[in-house]
C-alpha cells in the first residue's frame, strides 16, 4: 500500500478513501488467514500485489510486457481467476479484491500454478477503476457473482449501478467487453436493465448470454445448478461508435 494513504486506528492503510463520500458495495471484515494464505501473502505479495495509487497504472510495466489487459472485480478466493489466467496466458489479468484471505488464497494459487500473468490490488474497485485504470486501456472486465445485497433496503449497495457501469465502459478499449454473472435472478434483471441503458455498450445476446467457455463452473455454482438454481451471464461490448 502507498505510504500516503489514510490509515485506521491500528496504523494499517484503509481499503478505501474515507474522503470519497459514497455508498460502498462491500463491508470490510478481518477474516481469518490460513497459514498457507499468510505465507503466500508474505512470500508472493511483494511480487504480485500492486499498491493502490491515485495515478494511472502503467499496465505494461506492471506485467513486464505488452498484452491485452482484463480486469476482474471481486475475485473472491481466486479459483476462477487463476483458471482463466492459466487458460489465457496471452493476456494480462488484474484482479481487485478487498478481503485479505481471498488475496492470500489467489497468491497461493499463483505460486502453485506458476502463473506470471496476474497482478492483484487490494482496494475498493470503484477507486481503482476511477484512478488507476486509464480510459480505453482494457480488453475486458469480469464481474462474477458480486454481492447481490438481496434485501430491498440494501439494493443501493450493489456494485453495478449506472454511474459505475458508465465508468467501466469508459475504460474499455475498442472491441472491449464487460462480462457479468450472477446467481440471483432479481439482480440479473437489474444488471440487464442497467447495462442495456448504457449508450456506449451493446448486448452480444438477445438478453442473457450463454456462459462463455472461458468462465469455469465453480463447485458452488455446480451445486446450485443441480438444485435447479439459475445462473445468468451478461456479455456486453463497447459500441464501435463509442
Residues annotated catalytic, as ranges: 147
Over the Cα atoms of the chain, what is R_g? 17
Question: CA 54 to CA 2: how far, in whole Å?
Answer: 10
Find how far residue 188's CA is from the centre of its chain: 17
Q: Which residues contact 122 (CB under 8 A, 6 or more apart)?
A: 1, 15, 49, 52, 96, 97, 98, 100, 103
Instruction: Look at the block and give the residue holding cell 462463455.
Output: 212
Question: CA 83 to CA 212: how far, in whole Å?
Answer: 14
Q: Strand 172-182 to strand 232-238: parallel, antiparallel, or no bridges (unpaired)?
A: antiparallel
For 123, phi and psi rounded to 5 degrees? -170, 170
CA distances from residue 119 to 35, 79, 91, 150 in whole angstroms, order as listed? 21, 14, 12, 31
Q: Strand 92-96 to strand 118-121: parallel, antiparallel, or no bridges (unpaired)?
A: parallel
Amino acid at each position: 500500500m502507498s505510504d500516503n494513504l489514510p490509515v485506521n486506528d491500528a496504523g494499517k492503510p484503509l481499503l478505501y478513501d474515507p474522503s470519497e463520500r459514497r455508498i460502498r458495495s462491500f463491508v470490510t471484515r478481518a477474516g481469518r488467514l490460513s497459514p498457507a494464505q499468510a505465507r503466500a501473502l508474505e512470500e508472493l505479495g511483494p511480487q504480485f500485489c500492486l499498491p493502490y495509487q491515485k495515478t494511472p497504472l502503467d499496465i505494461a510495466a506492471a506485467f513486464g510486457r505488452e498484452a491485452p489487459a482484463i480486469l476482474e472485480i471481486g475475485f473472491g478466493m481466486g479459483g476462477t481467476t487463476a483458471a482463466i489466467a492459466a487458460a489465457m496466458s496471452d493476456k494480462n489479468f488484474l484482479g481487485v479484491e478487498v478481503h485479505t484471505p481471498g488475496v492470500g488464497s489467489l497468491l497461493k494459487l499463483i505460486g502453485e500454478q506458476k502463473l506470471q500473468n496476474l497482478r492483484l490490488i487490494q482496494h475498493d474497485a470503484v477507486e481503482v477503476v476511477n484512478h488507476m485504470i486509464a480510459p480505453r486501456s482494457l480488453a475486458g472486465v469480469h464481474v462474477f457473482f458480486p454481492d447481490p445485497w438481496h434485501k430491498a433496503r440494501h439494493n443501493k449497495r450493489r456494485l453495478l449501478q449506472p454511474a459505475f457501469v458508465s465508468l467501466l465502459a469508459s475504460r474499455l478499449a475498442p472491441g472491449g467487453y464487460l462480462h457479468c454473472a450472477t446467481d440471483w435472478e432479481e439482480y440479473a434483471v437489474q444488471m440487464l436493465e442497467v447495462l442495456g441503458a448504457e449508450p456506449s455498450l451493446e448486448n452480444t445476446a438477445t438478453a442473457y448470454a450463454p456462459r462463455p467457455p472461458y468462465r469455469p463452473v465453480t463447485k458452488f455454482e455446480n451445486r446450485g445448478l443441480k438444485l435447479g438454481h439459475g445462473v445468468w451471464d451478461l456479455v456486453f461490448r463497447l459500441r464501435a461508435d463509442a
